[in-house]
Structure 1
Amino acid sequence: MPNINEKPVILSEQVQKTLANLEPLSRKVFLSLDPPSPMDNRADVDQVRQTLERTYGSVNVPLSLMSKIPSLCRSADWQVTAILADTGQSWKLIDLEQGDTTREQYGLAIDIGTTTVVVYLINLCDGTVMRHAADYNGQIAQGEDILSRIRYAAEPGGLARLQKAVVDTLNNLIRRLCPSPMETDKITAAAIGANTTMIHLLLGLDSASICRAPYTPVVNNPGLISAVELGIDIHPLAPVYCLPSIGSYLGGDVIGGILVSGMHTQSDVSLFVDIGTNGEIVLGNEDWLVACAGAAGPALEGGVTAFGMRAEPGAVDHVAIDPVTGQVQYTTVADMPARGICGSGLVDTLAELFLNGIIDRTARFQKGRDEFVVVPVQASAVGKDIVVTQIDINNFMATKGAVNSATDLLMENVGCAWQELNCFYAAGAFGQYLPIESAITIGLYPDLPRSAIVRLGNSSGEAARQVLLSRSKRLEAEGIAAKVTYFELNANTAFMEKFSGSKFLPHTDLDRYPSVKRRLQTRA
């Protein structure tokens, strides 16, 4: 479990795209209304609605607002600002404010990860990120991975506690962004990118079927939900949009990654990989998209290694071994004394061990070793050597093998050769910070021209920003979800066969990694 007293290092950087036309999920419209007179004695609500409908078509006014409109219009001398929510087919009036407040339009773009949550405050007038806040997902206390939380949700009261934990996390972050309740009430829309299980737990839906054959979620596209229904502390009637999912293990965060990458609009074939607590892989182009996913990430977050830890202060994040002296050089997050090794440090370590002949192509230590000291005890903050053991490497190779096998299976199913790959998109925190050369050396990434490897950053958060700001992007995301063919790996015998033979560095077929082959020959 992460150290809650340490400030988490959470990815918030995005590959941001400037949107040509802003069509936010909610918008403000200034209205200069006519006071009632003998010549115009329309009902107050009718005048507001009819004035809006001249521009926006059908507008629904909820009962909760009807009693507010007469007194507010009169106290504002009939100069008011209407707040409209886009329901997809029509508009809904969610509030009325005195005077012209059209310059104060705010929304939230939210990325709910299994491990971390990031909330961005967005100016709906121009689409810019004003500020952001991040923290660990409060559900971690009930389980660090998806399967643990699904099991916990099945216990009496478990689902309600998990829902409260993530909503509390969101509300704490919102308060950090907007300390005053008056400010949070000005947030009139939100969009969320998250995996399928995280959306189910946020909505308080039973997630048990997600991990049981035939792996069917309760809902893939929940549509618009009001903030008050979820307990999110923004405007009560603010619409909340969740990016659509397409399967138990392929959620809106991945749909968002495809949207941000633009791979669905390109004629050439691209590969998208997001390895976090779970691993998701998408292959395709403008004509077709295939995808698969599974719980592949714990080793990459330091979850199954003796000295593994997340990228918190004191985590070894980069490692190099001098090929002549064998001396180890390393860096740590925040330059703090070493407490353990995070995912990027582990990948660096394995690559260096392999290139220096300390482990062989089967990832086995040579010359009777069973561990390697990365940080000696005298430099360690934990009072002992920080090491990588053979068991650690075996666990990591299982994760790498799963990614390789899933990718190979997708490519075989569509008849696509590795030489046809034009671009590789690395999403999420691991993709952002992972050393590219080391990832290629151990076979986690394909051996493509380095310019073809694109780091997307927090693509889930950026996708949430885009769909918050654009109706066309919301429709585009839903179109992507409808286009993807999902391969279920849980009961796939071909996957298991590939997995059993995939645990080689960098790959079973060394010729697929020509740059690594050359480096090995040079070192030899």
Structure 2
Amino acid sequence: MGEGKAVILTGRTGGGEEVELDPITNKIYLELNEPAPGNNQADVDRLLEGLREPAGTVIVPLELMRMVSGVLREGNWRVTATVGAQAPGVWSLVDLEAGDTTGAHYGLAVDIGTTTVVVYLVDTRTGRIMGTAADYNGQVALGDDILTRIYLAGTPEGLAQMQRAVVDTLNSLIERLTVEHKLAGRQISAAVIGANSTMVHLFLGLDPSRICMAPYIPVVNNPGIIPAGQPGLRINPLAPVYCLPSVGSYVGGDIIAGVLASGLHRSPELSLFVDIGTNGEIIMGNRDWLVGCAGAAGPALEGGVAQSGMRAEPGAVDSVRIKPGTGRVRYTTIGNAPPAGICGSGLIDCLAELFLAGIIDRAGHFKDGRTEFVVVPAAESATGKDIVITQVDINNLMRTKGAVNAALEYLLESVGCDYTEINRFYAAGAFGQYLHLESAIAIGLYPDLPRDKMVRLGNASGEGARLVLLANEKRREAEAIARNITYFELNASEVFMNKFVGSKFLPHTNLDYYPTVKAKMMARGLIEKE
């Protein structure tokens, strides 16, 4: 059931793809014959007969059966039916309105992150994003990290509290968008959600406890379509809500959405997709095969772990440059606000600059034996205290970068490829959007590839959700991606652990993998010229 052709841009790859606009819900205007002597069909039967040609099989929920007769007569038998996809060839009636309301058709594309929730209001007739609203996930107040939330959700009361927190966040954002665009919540007839496995479980009120216990088995990987009223979203209560499928406990629907948005699964060339957040997720492959893995990566990059760490908000130091020889620091802050701490991109910059300035060695240790480096002196900071990066912070960052490094090397070795065969590198997520590529490459967090092969996708989870909202074909494609990924469990791999132990050098134990970094080290006298 399509509405013509539309070009839908996938992510921020700079390219486009012609996709048939076939949203997860469709609006159909009907002009029905009135009942008359000799035509005494029941009201619901008459409606279904009118829907048979444009939609095929349609199920009418009891809630809507109760209102069909009134709406048909209110509209003088001219009505608009909203139907939502349930299964191939099967639709469910979502709403019935008097008159022709096909000009107003809206859905939501949602990214539920561990820290931040983003909601996009989409005009499903055109694919255009009408508005965006974002806020911190309300669960942050209950537990900053994902393991704490899983623990707190271990009781029925705790699980209900976690679910309420994220649903309340979503409803607040939905209300912000509907007020801004003068809509009623009921006018929103569908939602598609990209989220990691734990966030999906907590949103749906499912027990997440086994996600973090061997053998790491979630309750469900593909929850299918759920009416919005069940989790409590304040949109049309019968609106289909679709959570993109997960591969397992640590490669969730947000990653499937990102792969879908990148298009790497359709390319003949070898590509690499990396999303570093609470976990570091890596997908590698092409149109013939896909492999993936995940491991704890993000905690060292989040506020509260580094001594002067903070989230990416006004006042966070987000970029750092250190002059070799003098150690003089130049920095910027988000919003140009007085510096209050360092966010993830600033920490990566610090590590890279300390290394390239010769202040720390390849193992990440201060060469002069100090225990910290002052990035912002107390006189310039908003807190009145020095903003620093400590040896402990650096050790944590080295473990994070080492885990990503080792995971990538493990995947490459497992499929018989090497770095030189990677044709395209996709950096997803907010961290990937704002992280300075040269710093990430300098420490070995990202591979040393030609820069024109490196693409920032931004919120690929939200973009993948938008594509699925707009095209049932994309929903089938996302499910095929999830089925086709071969997942490597790093926690059970001795090979990975060995690589991890040997990976904590800047940028890598083998400098030949990082030619541009090696050249910088030679130019600055950190290693001898060959």
Task: Give TM class, smaller chain.
Answer: over 0.9
- One-letter code aligned to 2:33: D
Which residue matches 1:103? Answer: 103
Aligned AA for 2:82? I
Where do 5+ consecutive residues of structure 1 fail to align?
1-11
Count of residue pairs the alignment pairs up: 513
Residue type matched to 1:196 in 2? S
Please list, as runs of the form range in 1=range in 2, the aligned pairs for 1:309-328 lying within 5 A after superposition.
309-328=310-329
Task: Report the Cα offset of residue 13 of structure 1.
Answer: 8.3
Counterparts of 1:444 and 1:294, CA distance in 2:
14
Residue 31 (structure 2) pairs with residue 20 (structure 1): no
CA distance in structure 2 between the aligned counterparts of 1:314 and 1:398, rounded to whole angstroms:
26
Q: How many Å separate the matches in 2 of 1:182 and 1:388?
A: 48
Relative distance call for 1:221 and 1:272 in structure 2 (3 A) is same
State the match for 2:517 in structure 1.
Answer: 516
Shift of 1:295: 2.0
Opposite residue 402 of structure 2, the aligned amino acid is G
Distance 2:13 2:73 in 1: 45
The match for 1:86 is 85
Aligned ranges for residues 11-410 of structure 1 at < 5 Å? 19-89=18-88, 90-179=90-179, 183-410=184-411
Change (3 A) 1:59 1:156: closer
CA contact (8 A) 1:277 1:295 kept: yes
Q: Deviations over 1:281-334 (max 9, x none)?
A: 111111111101122101122442100011111000001112354321000000
Percent of residue pairs bearing the same amino acid type: 61
8 Å Cα contact 1:15-1:457 kept in structure 2: no
Q: Which amino acid aligns with 2:228?
A: A
Q: Do 1:15 and 1:462's aligned partners in 2 also have CA atoms closer than 8 Å?
A: no
CA distance in 2, matches of 1:166, 1:151: 16
| Runs ≥4 residues deviating over 4 A | 12-19
The 1:88/1:19 distance shift into structure 2, 3 A limit, reads farther
Q: Is the Cα–Cα contact under 8 Å of residues 13 and 455 in structure 2 kept in the other structure?
A: no
Take 1:369 and 1:232, find their aligned partners in 2: how far apart are those partners?
53
Q: Report how far residue 18 of structure 1 moved.
A: 5.7
Q: Distance in 1 between matches of 2:196 and 2:15?
A: 21
What is the alpha-carbon distance in structure 2 between the residues aligned to residue 182 and residue 468 of structure 1?
19
In 1: Cα distance, 2:177 partner to 2:220 partner: 31
Q: Is the 8 A contact 1:221 1:244 kept in 2?
A: yes
Question: 1:378-425, CA deviations, whole angstroms, 9 ceiling, x for partnerless residues?
Answer: 101111111111111001101111101111111111111111111111
Question: Deviations for 1:27-52, whole angstroms, at most 9, x for unmatched residues?
Answer: 11100111111242211111110110
Q: How big is the shift at 1:179?
A: 2.6
Structure 1 residues 364-513: aligned runs within 5 Å:
364-513=365-514
Q: CA 1:159 to 1:13, structure 2 compared with 1: closer, same or farther past 3 Å?
A: farther
Please give the secondary structure, in 1, of the residue aligned with 2:349: helix
Query: Secondary structure, in 3 states, of the residue corresponding to 1:87?
Result: strand
- 1:166 partner amino acid: V
**8 Å contact from structure 1 (residues 313, 333) kept in 2:** yes
Cα-to-partner distance string for 1:172-210 (whole Å, 9 max, x where unaligned): 000100139961110000000000010011111111111
| Structure 2, unaligned runs of 5 or more | 1-10, 526-530
Contact 1:191 1:467 in 2 (8 A): yes
Amino acid at match of 1:123: D
Check conservation: 2:138, 2:166, Cα contact below 8 A.
yes
Q: 1:374 and 1:112 mapped to 2: Cα distance? A: 33
What value does the CA root-mean-square deviation take over the aligned residues?
1.5
Q: Which amino acid aligns with 1:284?
A: G
User: TM-score, normalising length from structure 2?
Assistant: 0.95
- Residue by residue over 1:132-170, the C-alpha shift from the partner in whole angstroms, topping out at 9 and shown as x without a partner, is 100001111221222111111113511000000000000
Q: What's the secondary structure of 1:286's corresponding residue?
A: coil
- Helix, strand or coil at the partner of 2:275: strand
* More deviation, 392-401/37-46: 37-46
Question: Structure 1-normalised TM-score?
Answer: 0.96
- For 1:234-264, what per-residue CA distance to the aligned partner results, in whole angstroms no more than 9, with x for missing partners? 0010000110001011100011111111111
Residue 271 of structure 1 deviates from its aligned partner by 0.9
Q: CA deviation at 1:67?
A: 2.4
Q: Secondary structure at the match of 1:248?
A: coil
- Give 1:171 shift: 0.3
SS of equivalent residue, structure 1 residue 68: helix
